[in-house]
Amino acid sequence: MSVFSDVPQASPVAVFKLTADFREDSHPLKVNLGVGAYRTDDSQPWVLPVVKKVERLIVEDSSLNHEYLPILGLPEFRSAASKVALGDDSPAIAENRVGGVQTLGGTGALRIGADFLWRWYNGTNKTATPVYVSAPTWENHNGVFTDAGFKDIRPYRYWDAAKRGLDLTGLLDDLENAPERSIFVLHACAHNPTGTDPSQDEWKKIAEVMKRRKLFVFFDSAYQGFASGSLERDAWAIRFFVSDGFELFVAQSFSKNFGLYNERVGNLTVVAHDSKSLACTLSQMEKIVRTCWSNPPSQGARIVSKTLNSPELFAEWKGNVKTMADRVLLMRDQLKTKLQALGTPGTWEHITQQIGMFSFTGLNPKQVEYMIKQKHVYLMASGRINMCGLTTKNIDYVAQSIHEAVTKVQ
Amino acid sequence: MNNVGQLTSVKWDEEGKTFELHLTGKIKQQLSADPTLRPEYLSSLGLTKFTQRATEVALGKRSQAILENRVLGVHTPGFTAAMRLGAELLRHWYDVNAAWCGPVYLSSPCDDSLAGIFQAAGIQDIREYYYWDDKQRDICLDKLLEDLETAPEQSVVVLAASAHCPTGADLSQNQWAVITQLILRRRLFPFLMLPAQALCYGDLERDAWPVQLCASNGIELLCAQSFSHCFGLYGEAVGHLLCVLKHNSLLLSVQSQADKIVKSLWSQPSVGGARVVATVLSNPAHLVEWQGEVKHIVERCMLIREVLRERLRLLGTPGCWDHLTQQRGLYCCMGLNGQQVEFLSKWRHVYLLPSGCLNVSAINGRNLSYVAESIHLALTTSL
């Protein structure tokens, strides 16, 4: 008799099922708009030229130490990563109250942060503290905080389907009514899946309520540089909150902006009130990491570290990132133009107003089903598309398919 | 006198630097120039080519369990991650109806991070079984069996298949035969560890013998593996969790749950090191070259053990040091107590593990005399 006899099958994760279905489809014009990774205009993954260069440098460096990394990770990576988020001239860094933990990608950063908060945040109330995630949000947010032990995970209003934009009133209302000291997961830029970010003024309003209600700020930053093409612009919200005096966490991922998806390069930036609190926090995080993966993998961190710490390579990297961001912006522009030219009913301004890899098209589930089954264009049931799946070769077909879906299916 | 440094983890060469296998360096160069490698997300369960090879080296290519397709292999970011995934699987899915929550038995002594890993997964009931006997400077099988005999049915027992950390003392094949019978009789669940496969005898499969013994006896088991040590891939976090199930019908369910757990811990593993290992293990020529290099490492460790033992004998250091050469692998228990360990770090700048064990490969031609003298002093100075 097996001890695993009664294990139920877990349901598959939607986005991976979509990709699996896409792979099995033999239709010549099929398009995958579900994938969460960058693709070139030839629909290929892209190794950033600066990454290729740095990889070679690393492989040829015979002086390199092959030891385990420290538990908290490669020191030069951690400091460079935090600097990229907070800015070179960040006063918080100058005041020695910023630290980083190298993690297995953005997921790892979220998990270590969540594990820490579950153990140490909010006094005796810690495990019952509500965690708020946007409606909608990246589906793994729920999983990470649940598995870290939080039982009370709630949505905060975010996407307004009717106006196809941010539901600021609803958001501010939920902030106002959240129990004090609740944890809020905020997307630093390029909100996944809607692509809709608060404006600078809107962020200021959000910060005002959060400060007053003593809410904990946990930024998820997976697209810095990738969204607008500018590192500074994409980090504006984070830097504003820091300058506004908040303590906060930032879960950073370098998967997209370095194209290092399978090397798992992440950093949990901790901004504390003072250097002593920072030191204590990092020491507890070290204990948490020790029972999770113990020592993080070095390859990806070395690539990022070398790049960020060399002015030449850093400039080259920014150029590569801009290349990716520009292609996405071009596709957004072209898709909107084509839909308008086709006279597709509805407004399509949101396609170019939204930012980052993803766009919430506004297609309903029936229309999405039509797209997949009849047109072999794969997208999420929510109507989310990955702009990187669009190329100059398939954009006409996709625009045409959307047009048909909207006009034929209600 | 210079700081002698750590005699704890990580392998060092004669220069005191971390050892990189020549072959590993070569493969890394090849892989970095390979245009077919794509920067894409892996599946949560990792690189398939790697899990297939890792599964084969643990169970043997012709394993019945593999043929019957009832083995789950998960590529993890390192050994600790494999232990953590195993602990989470047990916590959530071991006998769902009975709401199992321990106990888990760890050897005395054991790696100091193990208890924490099970606790982090939510298992608080952690107990010890007798393992290393200080006086005999060896495993005491009788006391070990006594402890396991009284373990409640369905207890999980964590056992080192080889390269026991921190003592370096491994169970013999005869001892394993007795233990597997006990496991069957008492319905215990073995969670085996292979942290440094091939570093005891230079032979991957020999170190995995206990895993194969359990599997061939129809025992369900978990096994955490690491390829960091034997490929010199320390910084690369190359781990694997093996799960041998009783029936093929359970595979998809357990796999889906492992997938779910991984997604909220690290999402997917890192690919770099696993590619190197998969490349070597899939290519007969590479395999031969790799085995040559590993044998060299193993021989060096044996030589250090012999020389250290001889030096202690010449110094007239009290105690029996036969176990130094009777045991194999990287670790060795020196039988020093807490005070003596502190003496060594404070006054001699020689750092051992708190349990009084050390990593043999950290000793080399330049520090051997100093280390031997230090151990001698620790044992002869009245503290």
Residue B116 and residue A65: Cβ atoms within 8 Å?
Answer: no
Task: Calculate how close chain A gets to B339, using CA atoms only, in Å.
Answer: 25
Question: Is B274 in the same domain as B310?
Answer: no
**Given an 8 Å threshold on Cβ–Cβ distance, is B271 in contact with A36?**
no
Query: In total, how many domains does chain B have?
Result: 2
CB A34 within 8 A of CB A381: no
Query: Would you call B78 and A295 a contact, using CB atoms and an 8 Å cutoff?
Result: yes
Could you list the residue range(s) of the whole structural domain that residue A162 is in?
A: 68-309
Residue B43 lies in a domain: yes
**A214 with A112, same domain?**
yes
Q: Does B113 touch chain A (CB under 8 A)?
A: yes
Say how far apart CA A302 and CA A111 lie, in whole Å: 22
- The answer to whether residue B6 is domain-embedded is no
Determine the longest span between alpha carbons in chain B, in angstroms.
64
Residues B40, A13: C-beta atoms closer than 8 Å: no
Chain B residues closer than 8 Å to A12 by CB = 256
- The CA distance from B43 to B72, in Å, is 14
B95-129: pLDDT as tens digits:
887 888 889 999 999 999 999 999 999 999 999 99
Asked which of A141-150, A276-285, B153-162, B197-206 is least confident by mean pLDDT, the reply is B197-206
B69 vs A141: CA distance, rounded Å? 33
Q: How far is CA A145 from CA A218, A251, A378, A397, in A?
A: 12, 13, 29, 40
In chain A, positions 34-93, which contact chain B (CB-CB < 8 Å)? 36-37, 44-47, 51, 55-56, 59-60, 65-69
Our CA-based measurement puts residue B345 at a distance from the nearest CA of chain A, in whole angstroms, of 20
Q: Is the same domain home to B139 and B159?
A: yes
Which of B21, B193, B266, B277 is the mutation pick for testing A, counting most A CBs within 10 A?
B266
The CATH number of the domain where B162 resides is what? 3.40.640.10
- Taking CA–CA distances from B228, the nearest residue in chain A reads A68
Are B254 and A293 an interchain contact pair (Cβ–Cβ within 8 Å)? Answer: no
In a domain, B14, yes or no: no
Q: Which residues of A touch B97 (CB under 8 A)?
A: 6
> Is B11 domain-assigned?
no
On whether the CB atoms of residues B245 and B70 are closer than 8 A, the answer is yes
Contact A264 B270 (CB under 8 A): yes
Domain span at residue B135 reads: 24-285
Instruction: Tell me, yes or no, whether A348 and A244 share the same domain.
Output: no
Give the pLDDT confidence of A16-36 residue by residue, as tens digits: 788 889 999 999 999 999 978
pLDDT above 70 for B12:
no
Tell me if residue A278 falls in helix, strand or coil: helix
Is A39 inside any structural domain?
A: yes
Per-position pLDDT tens, chain A of length 410: 888 988 999 988 777 788 889 999 999 999 999 978 899 999 999 999 999 999 999 988 877 777 889 999 999 999 999 999 999 999 999 999 999 999 999 999 999 999 999 999 988 777 789 999 999 999 899 999 999 999 999 999 999 988 889 999 999 999 999 999 999 999 999 999 999 999 999 999 999 999 999 999 999 999 999 999 999 999 999 999 999 999 999 999 999 999 999 999 999 999 999 999 999 999 999 999 999 999 999 999 999 999 999 999 999 999 999 999 999 999 999 999 999 999 999 889 999 999 999 999 989 999 999 999 999 999 999 999 999 999 999 999 999 999 999 999 98
Q: Give the long-range contacts of residues B283-292, CB within 8 A, separation 24 or more.
A: B286/B23, B286/B27, B289/B23, B290/B21, B290/B23, B290/B231, B291/B202, B291/B203
B279 and B319 assigned to the same domain: no
Is the same domain home to A305 and A338? no
Q: Does residue B62 sit in the same domain as residue B166? A: yes
| Residue A220 in domain | yes
Is residue B38 situated within a structural domain?
Answer: yes
Q: Is residue A4 part of a domain?
A: no
Higher pLDDT, residue A128 or B240: B240
CATH value at residue A351: 3.90.1150.10
Minimal Cβ distance to A293: which of B94, B233, B266? B266
Q: Considering only the beta carbons, identify the residue of B113, B220, B235 that sits closest to A291.
A: B113
The ipTM (two decimal places) reads 0.93
Residue A146 shares a structural domain with residue A250? yes
Within-domain flag for B309:
yes
Q: How far apart are CA B87 and CA B188, in angstroms?
A: 15
Inside any domain, residue A5: no
Q: In terms of domains, do A36 and A116 share one?
A: no
Query: Looking at the structure, do residues A132 and A106 belong to the same domain, yes or no?
Result: yes
Q: Which of A276, A309, A342 is the last residue of a domain?
A: A309
Rounded CA-CA distance B208/B58 in Å is: 5
Q: Tell me, what's the pLDDT at B15?
A: 65
Q: Decide which of A309, A344, A362 is a domain's last residue.
A: A309
pTM for this model (two decimals):
0.94
Same domain, B317 and B256: no
Say yes or no: A278 and A342 in one domain: no
Kindly state whether residues A305 and A330 are assigned to the same domain: no
The reported pLDDT for the residue numbered B205 is: 82
Contact yes or no for A2 and B154 at CB 8 A: no
The CATH number linked to A267 is 3.40.640.10
Instruction: State which residue of chain B sits closest to A69, comparing Cα positions.
Output: B235
Residue contact B81–A299, C-beta within 8 A:
no
Question: Where do the H-state alpha helices sit in B42-155?
Answer: 48-59, 64-67, 79-93, 114-120, 141-149
Structure confidence by residue, pLDDT tens digits, B245-293: 999 999 999 999 999 999 999 999 999 899 999 999 999 999 999 999 8
Of the residues A13, A141, A262, the best mutation for testing chain B's interface (the one with the most B CB atoms within 10 Å of its CB) is A262
User: A55: which chain B residues are within 8 Å (Cβ-Cβ)?
Assistant: 32
A268 in a structural domain: yes
Q: How many angstroms away from the CA of B27 is the closest CA of chain A?
A: 10
Q: What percent of chain B has pLDDT over 70?
A: 95
CA distance A169 to chain B (A): 31
Candidates A1, A2, A3, partner chain B, best to mutate (most B CBs within 10 A): A3
Domain assignment present for A299: yes
Q: Are residues B33 and B91 both part of a single domain?
A: yes
Does A132 lie in the same domain as A36? no
**Beta bridge pairs of residue A152:** none
What is the per-residue pLDDT across B138-148, written as a single tens digit (0 to 9) for each?
899 999 999 99
Query: Catalytic residue positions of A?
Result: 138, 220, 256
Q: Which helix (H) or strand (E) holds B307?
A: helix B284-315
pLDDT digit string (tens) for B320-363?
Answer: 888 889 888 888 888 788 899 999 999 989 988 877 888 888 88
State the smallest CA–CA distance between residue B262 and chain A in angstroms.
10
- Among B285, B308, B341, the domain-final residue is B285
Number of inter-chain CB pairs under 8 A, A vs B: 192
Assess if residue A388 is contained within a domain.
yes
Residues 263-292 of A with CB under 8 A from B: 263-264, 287-288, 290-292
Domain boundary among B285, B311, B336: B285
Specify if B110 maps to a domain.
Answer: yes
Q: Considering its fold, how many domains does chain A have in total?
A: 2
Contact check, Cβ <8 Å, B256/A259? no
Q: What is the pLDDT of residue B2?
A: 41
Q: Which residue of A has its CA nearest to B259?
A: A10
User: Which pLDDT score is estimated for B360?
Assistant: 86
In angstroms, rounded to a whole number, what is the distance separating the alpha carbons of residues A210 and A204? 10
Q: Which of A256, A275, A309 is the last residue of a domain?
A: A309
Q: Are residues B152 and B273 in the same domain?
A: yes
Please report which helix (H) or strand (E) contains residue B323, including its range: helix B323-326
Q: Which of B240, B264, B268 to probe by mutation at the A interface, max A CB count within 10 Å?
A: B264
Q: Give the gap in angstroms from C-alpha A383 to the nearest C-alpha of chain B.
A: 22
Q: Do A55 and B260 touch (CB under 8 A)?
A: no
Is B19 part of any domain?
A: no
CATH code of residue B337:
3.90.1150.10
Q: How confident is the model at residue B1 (pLDDT cuts 50, 70, 90)?
A: very low
> Considering the domain boundaries, does residue A55 fall inside one?
no
- Residues in chain A with CB shorter than 8 Å from the CB of B95 are 3, 6
In a shared domain, residues B223 and B320 = no
Give the closest of B38, B113, B271 to A294, CB-based. B113
Q: Are residues A127 and A35 in the same domain?
A: no
- Could you tell me if A183 lies within 8 Å of chain B, comparing CB atoms? no
Please work out, in degrees rounded to the nearest 5, the angle formed at the alpha carbon of residue A296 by the alpha carbons of A14 and B199.
110
* A41 and A143 together in one domain: no
Q: Which residues have CB under 8 Å from A139's CB, separation 6+?
A: A13, A14, A15
Q: Which residues of B touch A66 (CB under 8 A)?
A: 18-20, 232-235
Q: Is B174 an interface residue toward A (CB < 8 Å)?
A: no
Last residue of a domain, one of B252, B285, B318: B285
The answer to whether the CB atoms of B257 and A36 lie below 8 A apart is no
Nearest to B131 by CA among B193, B75, B81, B55: B193
Task: Based on the fold, state whether residues A128 and A197 are members of the same structural domain.
Answer: yes
